[in-house]
């Protein structure tokens, strides 16, 4: 079976003034929405803008629960953090 996924932030409204960013306030809403499509996975965004609220760093238990409950996996990571803070800086 072919697995289809989506980049995080595409199923909820974008962050104000941001083209692509971790959806700080609505990230958890994407799991049930992705399951309704149905999609198999989300490509997670890790960026400087959202790092203080990103569950990869702050609340991995909640993230693991949403993955288990929805059946939506996180199969890849978009490391936009390095756009703002390149290696060697």
Q: Would the pTM of this model clear 0.95, i.e. be above it?
A: no
The three-state secondary structure class of 27 is: helix
pLDDT of 89: 60
Calpha distance 55→78 (Å, rounded): 14
pLDDT digits (tens, 9 = 90+) for 5-45: 999 999 999 999 888 899 999 999 999 999 999 999 999 99
Q: Which two tokens stand for residue 13?
A: 């409204």
Task: Give the count of alpha carbons within 13 A of 70, CB side only.
Answer: 24
């Amino acid at each position: 079976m072919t697995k289809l996924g989506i980049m995080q932030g595409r199923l909820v409204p974008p962050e104000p003034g941001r083209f692509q960013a971790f959806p700080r306030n609505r990230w958890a809403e994407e799991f049930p929405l992705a399951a309704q499509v149905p999609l198999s996975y989300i490509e997670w965004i890790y960026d400087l803008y959202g790092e203080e609220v990103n569950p990869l760093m702050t609340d991995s238990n909640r993230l693991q629960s949403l993955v288990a409950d929805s059946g939506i996996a996180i199969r890849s990571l978009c490391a936009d953090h390095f756009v703002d803070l390149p290696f060697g800086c």
